[in-house]
Amino acid sequence: MSQSDPLEKFVRGLLGVLTLLAITLLVVIFGIVFWKGAPVIDWEFLTQASSNFGASGGILYQLAGTVILMAGAVAVSLPVALGTALFQTEYLKSDRLKKLFRNLIYSLNGMPTILFGLVGYMIFGVYLKAGVSWLTGTLILAVMILPTLQVSFQQAVEALPEKYRDAGMALGLSPTAMVYSVIIPQSVFGIITGVLLGLARAAGETAAIMFTATTFSGILLPQTWTDPVPTLQTHILVLAQEALNPQAVAHAWGAGLVLLSLTFILVAGALFCRSKMQMESER
Amino acid sequence: MSFISLVLIAGLFGFLVLQSVPILAEQKWDFLLGRDWWAGEVYGALPMIYGSCMVTGVASLLVLPLALGGAIFTSEFLSAKQRLWVKAMMELFAGITGIIYGLLGVALMAGWVKDSFGLIDGNTILTAGLLLGIMILPTILTLAEDALHAVPGCYRDTSLSLGLTKLQMIKSAVIPQALPGIAGAIFLGLGRAMGETIAVMLVIGGLDKIADPWYDLFAPAQSIASKLGREAAEAIGSGLQWSALMALGLVLFFMVMFLTMVGNLFLKRVR
């Protein structure tokens, strides 16, 4: 009956086509990056320093710079995010305050990253005298990924089955003991999910660090707190604009594929951990 | 410790306000309404505000049919397993960052736009809008799908038992219930589009002018974010130009905050 109605069929078909189109579009994007980037990538590309202004050589130090920034950002952000999430789930009782903090963290999440770059540079770079450096970049990225980490942690803690808490309380645990011996160990998959998503976000960020933390050439690895670093993101940014030099553009695609693979692995890991977490909470 | 989010937002806002005082004191409303931006002489924000609105508008025109159609189909017509596949894929694609889209834009899309429309230069509002649309597609699709999927089964069962067809059920029971969540998803996505710097900066053309006529999508323009991205490095830290950039940042803060707030308002009603 309903299935044979021509209008039903048409709308259903139309929705199907739109879905297919959306998926195809994104698969094509990935396909292009892969197709353009794959020929450039080999062992030398990953293990050599770049030369000739990025048009030859590899991306070893750019990759290292990206890893330094993202790992540093998570290292700074992790304790803060964990503390905030636990405070809001375990200690904060007022629903209105909870709502306020939730709205704030979502607003922070939606902020354009370039604003973090501008203001972060003034605070960390100028007032704290870190200048254009990996330290400034790390701190800016740490602020930027704070909402990602906190929301993940909070969701993980809130998803914990009530019986764990009940058992802890029945044993007479204080709130602090409860956090250390029940909440944190039981929400470990959620914490890993948040960390991986935070790493992915920091890895891809360009706008906030391009004028606050990075250099195109001259420095390989930072020797002091106030050295800038080369990064994959800014490397691509510079090379992409060398339209007249096909070799440079080819290297940009190679670096792009490496960056894309890095974020895909991190996000895929996060998805896997989240599915683990859901299974855990359904037990 | 939770107050850190409050401190961060307030700090960001306070800093932008503080740093934009010099330019606002100098030019007052002419800053917002001025149509010319010549570094060192006069700073008018209108072309950038226009540019931000235009690229976000073009992106939403492209993305809405795809994202909403995709969300409805995924939530209502696909099996549980297929649905999880689509969701996982969208989350992966949401991880593709601005610089990758920027590279695609510079190296390929600008050329395609140029050739298909016979333009002299492929760096246009349309190019930037298309790129942004693709960029926010996975985010809006997956969030809107969440909203649709969260509609309790009893609404579906009731409509079907009343003899409604599946399509009627979706139209009159599922979508109205999910509408706040869908709207929230759209606003959050648009906020992201408006704040994107790198991808837009590389393909918008970087011309601080309002196109003539204003709806000419094949004209180069400049969004607030792309302006900040281009000029921050040269003006860094001091002077009236820096203050003007910070004031532009403040305008962007308000515009994105507005979209996020509206989005949150809708999303809150779902929870």
Tell me the two tokens of residue A83: 């503390």
Q: pLDDT digits over B211-259, tens only? A: 888 888 899 999 999 999 988 888 877 788 899 999 999 999 999 999 9
Interface of B with A in 31-70 (CB under 8 A): 65-67, 69-70
Residues of chain B contacting residue A198, judged by C-beta atoms under 8 Å apart: none
Tokens of A36: 């353009």
CB contact under 8 A, B165 and A83: no
Calculate helix-pair angle for A113-120, A134-158, nearest 10 degrees.
130
If you average pLDDT over residues B90-118, what whole number do you get? 92
State the pLDDT at residue B1: 62
Among B63, B83, B198, B260, the strongest candidate for a mutation testing the A interface, having the largest count of A CBs within 10 A, is B198
> B261: nearest CA in chain A?
A107
pLDDT for the residue numbered A193 = 92
Q: Which residues contact B244 (CB under 8 A, 6 or more apart)?
A: B20, B23, B31, B37, B43, B45
CA-wise closest residue to A204 among A266, A136, A158: A266
Please report the pLDDT score of residue A107 as a whole number.
84
Nearest to A143 by CA among A209, A47, A98, A86: A209
Say how far apart CA A36 and CA A31 lie, in whole Å.
8
Question: Do the beta carbons of residue A76 and residue A86 sit within 8 Å?
Answer: no
Candidates A114, A142, A125, A123; CA nearest to A212 is: A125
* Sequence-distant (≥ 6) Cβ neighbours of residue A160 within 8 angstroms: A183, A186, A187, A281
Q: Determine the Cα–Cα distance for residues B229 and A211; give it in Å rounded to an integer.
A: 9
Cβ pair B99:A236 closer than 8 A? yes
Residue B22 CB neighbours (<10 A) = 16
Where do we find the tokens 């005082």?
A: B21
Task: Determine, for residues A111 and B253 on separate chains, whether the beta-carbon distance falls below 8 Å.
Answer: yes
Q: Which residues contact A171 (CB under 8 A, 6 or more apart)?
A: none
Q: What is the CB neighbour count within 10 angstroms for residue A16?
A: 15
**Quick one: pLDDT at residue A252?**
93
How far, in Å, CA of A240 to CA of B129, rounded?
Answer: 19
> What is the value of pTM for the model shown?
0.91
Touching check for B80 and chain A: CB below 8 Å? no
pLDDT > 60? residue B128: yes
A104·B16 Cβ contact <8 A: no
- Confidence check: pLDDT of A54 > 80: no
B3-270 has which CATH code?
1.10.3720.10
pLDDT class for A1, splitting at 50, 70, 90? very low
- How far apart are the C-alpha atoms of A176 and A183, rounded to whole Å? 10
Residue with tokens 């699709």: B141
Angle at A19 between CA A15 and CA A22, to 5 degrees: 140
Q: Does B186 touch chain A (CB under 8 A)?
A: no
Chain A residues in contact with B263 (beta carbon < 8 A): 110
Nearest CB among B4, B102, B202 relative to A80 is that of B4
Residue A43 in this model has a pLDDT that exceeds 50: yes
Chain B: closest CA distance from residue A108 (Å)? 7
Nearest alpha carbon to residue B139 among B84, B182, B201: B182
Computed over every residue of chain A, the mean pLDDT equals 88
Q: Would you identify the CATH topology of the domain A41-282?
A: MetI-like fold (1.10.3720)
- Cβ B40 vs Cβ B26: under 8 Å: no
Test mutation, A34, A104, A114, A150, chain B, max B CBs within 10 A: A114
The yes-or-no verdict on residue A2 having pLDDT over 60 is: no
Query: In chain B, which residue's Cα lies nearest the Cα of A212?
Result: B233
Q: Which of B38-47, B135-144, B250-259 has the lowest mean pLDDT?
A: B38-47
Nearest alpha carbon to residue A270 among A195, A220, A213? A195
Q: Where do the structural domains in chain B lie, given as residue ranges?
A: 3-270
Q: Which of B165, B197, B263 has its CB closest to that of A5?
A: B165
pLDDT tens, position by position, A105-159 = 888 888 999 999 999 998 998 888 888 899 999 999 999 999 999 989 988 888 8
How much is the average pLDDT of A180-203?
91
**Backbone angles phi and psi of A229, in degrees to 5:** -125, 155
| Residue A192: C-alpha distances to residues A187, A198, A273 (Å) | 9, 10, 7
The mean predicted confidence, pLDDT, of chain B is: 89
Residues of A in Cβ contact (< 8 Å) with B65:
18
B154 part of contact set with chain A, CB < 8 Å? no
Could you write out the DSSP letters of every residue in chain A? -GGG-HHHHHHHHHHHHHHHHHHHHHHHHHHHHHHHHGGG-SHHHHHS-EEGGGTEE--HHHHHHHHHHHHHHHHHHHHHHHHHHHIIIII---HHHHHHHHHHHHHHHHS-HHHHHHHHIIIIIIIS---SSHHHHHHHHHHHHHHHHHHHHHHHHHTS-HHHHHHHHHTT--HHHHIIIIIHHHTHHHHHHHHHHHHHHHHH--TTTTTTTB-SSS-SS--STT--B--HHHHHHHHHT-TT-HHHHHHHHHHHHHHHHHHHHHHHHHHHHHHHHHHHHH-
State whether A115 and B195 contact (CB < 8 Å): yes
- Which chain B residues have a beta carbon less than 8 Å from that of A131? none
Per-residue pLDDT at A73: 96
- As a whole number of angstroms, the distance between CA A181 and CA B51 comes to 53
Tell whether B141 is within 8 A of chain A (Cβ): yes
